[in-house]
Structure 1
């Protein structure tokens, strides 16, 4: 089973909010996360847990695991992040 199947909140965030039509939700990562929190705030803690679990599951292959599971929907480098820094930023914004 792909980890994307084990992490439904992450799959939803990357496919919907950071997918092809991301600009419907904002132009920056903080704007998009803010929109996510308004729309799906009840899933916020689940998403934080999923991100932490994903990072813990892939200590040595985070970039390739992320690319494999979410790369068709989202590339953190296009937004000026590494995979690690983007996931950390997401957790920070979701925790605010």
Structure 2
């Protein structure tokens, strides 16, 4: 989802994180299984990153995505993604 929706071209999908993630949820490719997989990836990322969450998100996405630019910490951003995906 980060690479495909929350990237430099995210304005195609919406103006806010909620609009963009909601668009992801509505897309034909976002089956319930894919949403479950995305939630599992979020949790796996958290577990593997541990206390280095900010560093790991930067390593993974570099200049393509930065939660701070959206008004979040890395942790609060992942919380928000999970919340939107489960509602």
Q: TM-score, normalised by structure 1?
A: 0.83
Picking from 51, 60, 70, the partner of 1:60 is: 51
Which stretches of structure 1, 4 residues or longer, exceed 4 Å deviation after superposition?
none
Indicate yes or no: 2:21 matched with 1:36: no
Picking from 3, 7, 12, the partner of 1:24 is: 12
Q: Distance in 2 between matches of 1:67 and 1:91?
A: 19
Gaps of 5+ in 2: none
Root-mean-square deviation (CA), in Å?
0.9
Q: What are the superposed Cα offsets for residues 2-42 of structure 1, whole Å, 9 maximum, x if unpaired?
A: xxxxxxxxxxx112211111011000010000000011321
Aligned residues: 84
Q: Distance in 2 between matches of 1:73 and 1:16?
A: 10
